[in-house]
Amino acid sequence: MMKTKKKILAVLSTTALFAGILAGCGSSDSKSASGGGDSKETTLTLLMDNQSPATMDGFKAVAAEFEKKYHIKTEIETRPGGSEGDNLVKTRLSTGDMTDLVAYNSGSLLQALNPEKNFVDLTNESYMDTLLDTFKTSVTVDKKVYGVPVGGFSAGGWLYNKKVYQELGLSVPKTWDELMANNEKIKAAGKTAVIGTYKDTWTSQVIFLADNYNVLAEAPSFPDDFTANKAKMATTPAALRSFEKLEEINKKGYMNKDFNSTGYEAGLKMLVDGTGVQYPIISFALANIATLYPDKVDDIGFFPQPGDSADKNGVTAWAPGAIYINKASEHVDEAKKWAEFFVTPEAVELFMSKSAPNGPAAIKDVKLPDNVYGAVKDMIPYFDEGKTAPALEFLSPLKGPNLPQITSEVGGGMKSAKEGAAAYDQDVEKQAKQLGLKGW
């Protein structure tokens, strides 16, 4: 127990140390360590979130090799995750205080950053043909490609403790009713069936977001109709069902009682300890588990969020985040060289050696290492069989900024599913008008 606490503190301290040492570093030139008083070595700066120490290690490994080859240094800055981090990125872009390279989300959140104004167009770079089209779509705005992938695809669904499943004689659920039946058995055994970590409000969204495969199975045109203001969450049964699932978990008392004060990392600990048995989360959480509890990561399995029919079982997938180049950087050419190196087989292999993939690669002809997490192996068949669908934020530019608060309220019993869906419809209406979308 004490060793685990010390390890958690060590990871947090390391992240905080990098944030403290590297924060505020701007693009600058520094004298080369190789001597020659007049020679200068360019230093690029890169901003990433502080949610994954493994990703930090991957960037550091690639940056070290890049420096050897091109004599260009990379300094890494960290920012918070969630809405706080989003606001910081927007502020730094608007004030001209952004780093040369930015690691950030793809999909609808990218569009909210006005990429044409803020990021370098990479459409015609020679390496573009090596990137999967499904990824390029997620970083394309007005037919221009702005980013290169960080890691592979992730899956939204449920991580579960395989040992506890075995102890209780449970099978992986293929329908929502089967999942509810498992929850009852887990609850009866005195354990937390569904881990709730609403202290970090972004985690409250996952049950809603991971349901998009099931929404599309029932309403294939919903993303386009939603974007064009022809369909609403509150009046589309398949979309409303996603909020109803969130509401049902709360009504039946399946979450830990302290879900409002429990954070993401505490939730991971509950999962690996087996005091909490299932955690609705995106698969990038596996990297955090591997860092904090390396001897427990293979005790964790994955299953997609079930729909109402076992015949339509599949995974909602997230395109990886990306590296973007600040258009206002004084070192755009060097940053382009960095991005080009980042997607080479050599760099991808280096990155994966430090930050194991959470799903299939976004670069052609890249094979996953044999020692990928067991939970990743659980999700690969769905990708191989084409039983995947993108999360809504990759099919529509609409993702209301208040979604974490709304899902927290529905999941916490403060709003009904219908009220939450209506509130979200109002939230995206404001965003749609800001984006100037037709039909709004």
Quick: pLDDT tens for 424-437.
Answer: 999 999 999 988 99
Q: Alpha-carbon distance 138 to 102, whole Å?
A: 16
Q: Please identify which residue in the block is written with the tokens 């599309």.
A: 216
Q: Tell whether 208 and 108 lie within a shared domain.
A: no
Q: What is the DSSP letter of 299?
A: G
Kindly indicate the confidence band of residue 297, based on its pLDDT and cuts at 50, 70 and 90. Answer: very high
200 Cβ neighbours under 8 A, 6+ residues apart: 81, 82, 263, 264
Across-strand partners of 307? 175
In a domain, 5, yes or no: no
Q: Alpha-carbon distance 61 to 407, whole Å?
A: 37
Q: Tell whether 326 and 407 lie within a shared domain.
A: no
Look over the chain and give the mean of its residue pLDDT values, rounded to a whole number: 90
Q: Tell whether 291 and 426 lie within a shared domain.
A: yes
Across-strand partners of 141? 144
95 Cβ neighbours under 8 A, 6+ residues apart: none
Q: Alpha-carbon distance 71 to 286, whole Å?
A: 34
Count other C-beta atoms under 10 Å from residue 28's C-beta: 14
Q: What per-residue confidence (pLDDT) applies to 47?
A: 97
Kindly indicate the confidence band of residue 26, based on its pLDDT and cuts at 50, 70 and 90. Answer: very low
CATH number, domain of 355, equals 3.40.190.10
Q: Alpha-carbon distance 355 to 59, whole Å?
A: 9
pTM of the model: 0.76
Q: What per-residue confidence (pLDDT) applies to 112?
A: 86
Judged by DSSP in three states, 77 sits in: strand
Beta-strand relationship, 276-282 and 154-161:
antiparallel
Q: What per-residue confidence (pLDDT) applies to 14?
A: 38
9 Cβ neighbours under 8 A, 6+ residues apart: none
Kindly indicate the confidence band of residue 200, based on its pLDDT and cuts at 50, 70 and 90. Answer: very high
Kindly indicate the confidence band of residue 115, based on its pLDDT and cuts at 50, 70 and 90. Answer: very high
Q: Over range 394-400, report the average pLDDT.
A: 92
Work out the percent of the chain whose per-residue pLDDT is above 70. Answer: 91
In a domain, 102, yes or no: yes
Q: Across the chain, how many H-helices and E-strands are there?
A: 19, 14
Kindly indicate the confidence band of residue 28, based on its pLDDT and cuts at 50, 70 and 90. Answer: very low
Q: Tell whether 341 and 427 lie within a shared domain.
A: no
Q: How far is CA 380 from CA 38, 344, 428, in A?
A: 53, 23, 33
In a domain, 302, yes or no: yes
- pLDDT per position as a tens digit, 262-285: 999 999 999 999 999 999 999 999
Q: Alpha-carbon distance 91 to 383, whole Å?
A: 37
**Cβ(233)–Cβ(240) below 8 Å:** yes
In a domain, 159, yes or no: yes
Across-strand partners of 145? 140
Full domain range(s) for residue 26: 17-149+321-361
Q: Tell whether 237 and 158 lie within a shared domain.
A: yes
- pLDDT per position as a tens digit, 148-191: 999 889 999 999 999 999 999 999 999 999 999 999 999 999 99
In a domain, 11, yes or no: no
Residue 30: phi and psi, rounded to 5, are: -140, 155
Q: What per-residue confidence (pLDDT) applies to 181?
A: 98
Work out the percent of the chain whose per-residue pLDDT is above 90. Answer: 77
What are the strands, taking DSSP E only, across 14-83?
28-31, 40-49, 73-79
Q: Alpha-carbon distance 338 to 331, whole Å?
A: 11
Structural domain count, the chain? 2
Q: Tell whether 194 and 310 lie within a shared domain.
A: yes
Across-strand partners of 41? 30
Q: What per-residue confidence (pLDDT) applies to 189?
A: 98
> What is the rounded (10 degree) CA torsion for 271, 276, 281, 286?
10
Q: Tell whether 194 and 266 lie within a shared domain.
A: yes
Q: What per-residue confidence (pLDDT) applies to 22?
A: 36
In a domain, 440, yes or no: no
**Cβ(122)–Cβ(263) below 8 Å:** no
- pLDDT per position as a tens digit, 51-83: 777 789 999 999 999 999 999 999 999 999 878
